[in-house]
Amino acid sequence: DADVTQTPRNRITKTGKRIMLECSQTKGHDRMYWYRQDPGLGLRLIYYSFDVKDINKGEISDGYSVSRQAQAKFSLSLESAIPNQTALYFCATSAGRGTGDEKLFFGSGTQLSVL
């Protein structure tokens, strides 16, 4: 079983719809992240959470919200989806030991298309 699981793998939705992407992890990591990937733009950070009570905005948080339901679960919501939110979304985790040399573990991604 994957250590970082994202659901769904693919989603097609319409403009204006609310949609939630879910991420769960079995790695026991404190830190969780949501990134989006667009062709030619690399990965951009949307939100990140260093523990259940700590939520932080990334560089492109507008139009998104998150919920850290438990250490193992971090969901991303689009309250009213728009076409330019069409992208590949990744959840990632890291151990959060504060040593400054953390590596990220990624899920397989959710391909979201907003029509």
Partner 1 sequence: SQQGEEDPQALSIQEGENATMNCSYKTSINNLQWYRQNSGRGLVHLILIRSNEREKHSGRLRVTLDTSKKSSSLLITASRAADTASYFCATGGGSNYKLTFGKGTLLTVNP
Residue 1 contacts partner 1 per CB under 8 A: no
Residue 35 contacts partner 1 per CB under 8 A: yes
Residue 42 contacts partner 1 per CB under 8 A: yes
CA distances (Å), 96 to each of 40, 72, 101, 105, 107, in order?
29, 14, 9, 12, 17
CB of 30 to partner 1, least distance (A): 12
**Contacts with 44 (C-beta within 8 Å, 6 or more apart), sequence order:** 35, 36, 37, 38, 58, 59, 60
Residues in touch with partner 1 (CB under 8 A): 4, 33, 35, 40-45, 48, 56, 58-59, 88, 90, 92, 98, 100-109, 111
